[in-house]
Amino acid sequence: MSIGATKIAVIVTEVEEINSLIKRFRFVREDGGMMPAFSGGAHTVVEMQDGDTRRLNAYSLMSDPADLSGYEISVRREEAGRGGSLYMHRSVKPGMRLHISPPVNLFAPDRRAKKHVLIAGGIGITPFMAQMAQMDALGARFELHYAARNADLCAYGAALTDRYGARVHRYYDDAGQAIDLKTLLATQPLGTHLYVCGPKGMIAWVLATAEGMGWPRGTVHSEEFLSPPVGQPFAVELAASGKTITVGATQSLLEAMEAAQVDAPYLCRGGACGQCETRVIRCDGHIDHADHWLTEDQKAAQTHIMPCVSRFTGSTLVIDR
């Protein structure tokens, strides 16, 4: 996907405060048609015109993939972020018109799995909501283990228990409850696939525990979209376009390229998919790699950069775009 990619014109039909941090948004097509089909785990990119700044943020689709009358997402308010979530919370109201991208799925359930074990932390519940609706409709075997700081921040937890019963297990930090991961992983039938979405620390813990217990790599799936970090402004020379651009403090390099009308590919805009990978032609300074796509060796070599999340400090950065 890139700045010239297809967009869907939508109207915001519902905005609901779910708890002190999370709001739910529902979009329907402006032309009254059906939304494109998607599978559980897919995300859409929401375009926001925040003053002079155009932001494109990726959010997981949480609604039932069988219901294409609209899409639903949830947004967690990040006070210290770059402003996208604050814009969604403060400025997006029912009746507003927006553009979103067609869905892309980088976190699809593996249909070969005999059973799916889903581990969610906080707002990481959203892709699993769509996945569970799909798995339930298909008669697939699954269970959810959902951890949150407390009952209030366990968004949709009660509704999920109502819908899926004993397949939903909830854990609250303030009640001293924690997922007994080792026991959970040790007691799964052969052919089980494991999925995790949540904070960085939780993902690292689940992946490391599964690896340590000998789970085959292909049976363990994770999704973590990183928010582009804020930082000092920096200049970048785009060799193929013949332009030099400045990346603002709360802008990503990808957004700065788009603002300069330079076509740049992307899918996740969060350092996860590899689509935006760009060759570095010259680097006098330090690339602050924020992705989890490049290997540690590639990062150290400073020969490639992921413009959706990574920044630069130094005198000269020339990239092949």
Shortest distance (Å) from residue 221 CB to ligand FES: 16
For ligand FES, give the closer residue by CB, 45 or 206.
Answer: 45
Q: Nearer Cβ to ligand FES, position 120 or 267?
A: 267
Nearer to ligand FES, 142 or 312 (CB): 312
Could you identify the residue written with the tokens 């935006």? Answer: 276
Q: Out of 59, 266, 278, 312, name the contact with ligand FES by CB under 6 A.
A: 266
Q: How far is the CB of 107 from ligand FES (least distance, A)?
A: 13
Strand-by-strand arrangement of the 234-238 sheet? 243-247, 234-238, 311-319, 278-288, 304-305
Is residue 273 a contact point for ligand FES (CB under 6 A)? yes
Kindly give, in sequence order, each residue whose CB lies less than 8 Å from that of residue 186, ignoring residues fewer than 6 positions away: 213
279-318 residues in contact with ligand FES (CB under 6 A) are: 291, 293, 306, 308
Residue with tokens 């892309």: 104
What is the closest distance, in whole angstroms, from the C-beta atom of residue 32 to ligand FES in the complex? 31
Q: Determine if 256 is a binding residue for ligand FES (CB under 6 A).
A: no
- Closer by beta carbon to ligand FES, 133 or else 308: 308
Q: What share of the chain is helix, strand, coil (3-state, %, to 5)?
A: 25, 35, 45
Which stretches of the chain are assigned E, i.e. beta strand? 8-17, 22-29, 42-50, 53-60, 71-76, 97-100, 104-105, 115-121, 142-148, 168-172, 192-197, 220-223, 234-238, 243-247, 278-288, 304-305, 311-319
Q: Which stretch binds ligand FES (CB under 6 A): 40-48, 136-144, 213-221, 266-274?
A: 266-274
179 with 187: CB under 8 angstroms? no
Exactly one of 44, 74, 222, 275 binds ligand FES (CB under 6 A); that residue is 275
Beta bridge partners, 60, equal 43
Amino acid 245 reads I
Q: Which pairs with CB-CB distance under 8 Å and at least 24 residues apart come from 245-254?
A: 247/311, 247/312, 250/53, 250/82, 250/83, 251/53, 251/82, 252/228, 252/307, 252/308, 252/309, 253/305, 253/307, 253/308, 253/310, 253/311, 253/312, 254/228, 254/307, 254/308
Q: How far is the CB of 265 from ligand FES (least distance, A)?
A: 7
Binding mask of the shown chain, residues 208 to 247, with x at each position contacting ligand FES by CB under 6 A:
----------------------------------------
Closer to ligand FES by CB, 198 or 271: give it.
271
Residue placing its CB nearer to ligand FES in the complex, 42 or 273: 273
| Total site size for ligand FES, rule CB under 6 A | 14
**CA-based angle 148:208:312, to the nearest 5?**
85
Output 106 or 210, the one with its CB closest to ligand FES.
106
d(Cα 321, Cα 319) in Å, to the nearest integer?
6
Q: Which is nearer to ligand FES, 256 or 306 (CB)?
A: 306
Of 59-98, which residues contact ligand FES (CB under 6 A)?
A: none
The smaller minimum CB distance to ligand FES, of residues 123 and 267, is found at 267
Q: Is 55 in the site for ligand FES (CB under 6 A)?
A: no
Q: In the set 267, 283, 287, 319, which binds ligand FES (CB under 6 A)?
A: 267
| Residue 269 lies near ligand FES (rule: CB under 6 A) | yes
Residue 255's SS3 state is: helix
Q: Under the rule (CB under 6 A), what is the footprint of ligand FES?
A: 266-269, 271-276, 291, 293, 306, 308
